[in-house]
Amino acid sequence: MIDERQLISVLQNGIPLVSHPYAEIAREINSTEDEVINYIQLMQEKGDIKRFGLVVRHRKLGYKSNAMVVWDIAEENVDALGQCFGQFDFVTLSYRRPRKLPDWPYNLFCMIHGQDKEDVKRNLKLMIKACDVQSIQHELLFSTRCFKQRGAIYIHSDKTDRVAV
Amino acid sequence: MALDNIYDHDAFQNTKLTQRLLNEYQHNFPVTSTPYADIAERLGVNEQTVLDLLKELDDTNVLSRVGPVFRPNRVGVSTLAAMAVPEHKLEKVADIISSYSAVNHNYEREHHFNLWFVVTAENKEQLDNTLKDMQLKTDIRIMSLPMEKDYHIDLGFPLKLLEGGRSHDR
């Protein structure tokens, strides 16, 4: 039997760049290559794995600017607008989150990327027009400094703490 | 092609290959015994070439990793946290937050809430403890905004800019 916790702990750091990466992972967690492959496929089918492949650092690809757009949207419209915003290729996240009144009135969050600030603003205008949300209150929060960016580590071990950031 | 241009020709071919790797394998990466050989076959090159190009992307920090992106809250829990940090304390507080292995993204943003970071944990209790610990260490209140619903289908990141590359999407 494969230990899911162990497998995820190794997978979250990425698979090795060697001929038989899944066999190497299997050795690390005392499993077999077939078990590892089957379990990954199972997690893909269940939707626990959203995608599998190259994970790139967008800043290095010329997307120097990113901004979080937050919207204050009436409950009955959140689902439809969340989906509308989520369809653009420059939007990498579209999530509903709780409001925290009075400090924070926003309940829908999108991450928008662009080559520079102007590009991000153009992209936002495109979203506003396409999803017809001219009258909805929103704020654009540009990132000015990145202190840390790497894959999510859900399971902590000595090994994961050595991951380069 | 003239022989003296062979290196430039190789470099050009490699740039094109790198582009294809980045464009075609951010999703649908083979989960097979020899994934890199399988990709190589589809691209019409040998396995070592694919491995070398990926290592180069890794060395230059373009590649974060090859592997799964887990669906939020399916495997473990996470939250988006925000703090309103006085400007003169920002770097110090950001360093404290970044030092947690539970934190992956940590950004300064232009807003009254100027520090935004994602905290992950195996379960809710562990997450709450981490947030409490952060508030104690920084003496700043955290606004925690866990995801309630995901509307986005992550198909990877579109590649538009690579030296000598051509825009092909949108």
For chain A, which residues make up each domain, given as ranges? 4-54, 58-142
Cross-chain CB nearest to B109 (options A17, A68, A96): A68
pLDDT, tens only, B41-72: 999 999 999 999 999 999 988 898 999 988 87
Fold of A4-54: Arc Repressor Mutant, subunit A (1.10.10)
| Per-residue pLDDT, B166 | 35
Distance of alpha carbon A51 from alpha carbon A74, whole angstroms: 31
**Chain B environment of A86 (Cβ under 8 Å):** 151-153
Q: Is A29 on the interface with B (CB under 8 A)?
A: no
Q: Which residue of B has its CA nearest to A101?
A: B143
Per-residue confidence at B75, pLDDT binned at 50, 70, 90?
confident
Chain B residues close to A44, C-beta within 8 Å: 31
**Looking at the partner chain, which of A21, A57, A96 has a beta carbon nearest the beta carbon of B35?**
A21
Rounded average pLDDT over B101-108 = 91
Domain A58-142 has CATH 3.30.70.920: yes
pLDDT at B164 over 60: no
Q: What SS3 string covers B69-86?
A: EECCCCCCEEEEEEECCC
pLDDT in tens, A20-31: 999 999 999 999
Beta strands in A2-157 (DSSP E): 49-56, 65-71, 91-96, 108-114, 138-148
pLDDT confidence of B34, banded at 50, 70, 90? very high
Note the pLDDT of residue B157.
Answer: 58
Token pair, residue A150, equals 């790497």
- Residue by residue, DSSP assigns B20-51 as HHHHHSSSS---SSSHHHHHHHHHTS-HHHHH
Q: Considering only alpha carbons, which residue of chain A is nearest residue B63?
A: A56
User: And the tokens for A108?
Assistant: 């829908």
Instruction: Kindly determine whether residue A109 and residue B148, on different chains, have CB atoms separated by under 8 Å.
Output: no
In angstroms, the separation between the Cα of residue A91 and the nearest Cα of chain B is 8
As a whole number, mean pLDDT of residues B155-161 equals 52
Q: Which residues contact B163 (CB under 8 A, 6 or more apart)?
A: B15
Instruction: Give the Cβ contact number of residue B100 at 10 Å.
Output: 18
* DSSP assignment letter at A51: E
Picking from B16, B20, B19, the residue whose alpha carbon sits closest to that of residue B42 is B20
* Residue A65 token pair: 């600017």
Q: What percent of chain A has pLDDT over 70?
A: 89
Write the DSSP symbol of residue A100.
B
Task: Answer whether residue B116 shows pLDDT above 50.
Answer: yes
Sign for the pseudo-dihedral over CA of B123, B125, B130, B135: positive
User: Does the pLDDT at position A161 exceed 90?
Assistant: no
Distance separating alpha carbons of residues B20 and B168, to the nearest angstrom: 12
Is B78 or B144 the better-scoring residue by pLDDT?
Answer: B144
Distance CA A69, CA A94 (A): 9
Distances (CA, A) of B58 to A60, A113, A115, B71: 11, 22, 22, 24
Ranges A115-124, B32-41, B68-77, most confident: B32-41
pLDDT confidence bin for B163, thresholds 50/70/90: very low
Chain A residue numbers touching B64 (CB-CB < 8 A): 14, 55-57, 149-151
d(CA B1, CA B5): 7
Contact indicator for B65, B84 with CB cutoff of 8 Å: no
CB contact A145 to B (< 8 Å): yes
Residues A56, B64: C-beta atoms closer than 8 Å? yes
pLDDT for the residue B98: 96
* Residue B97, token pair as written in the block: 């937050």
Window 33-72 of B: residues touching A by CB (8 A cutoff) are 33-37, 47, 51, 54-55, 57-58, 60-72
Report the run of H or E that residue B109 belongs to, with start and end.
strand B103-109
Cα B127 to Cα A159, A165, B54, B79, B91: the distances in Å are 20, 21, 34, 8, 23
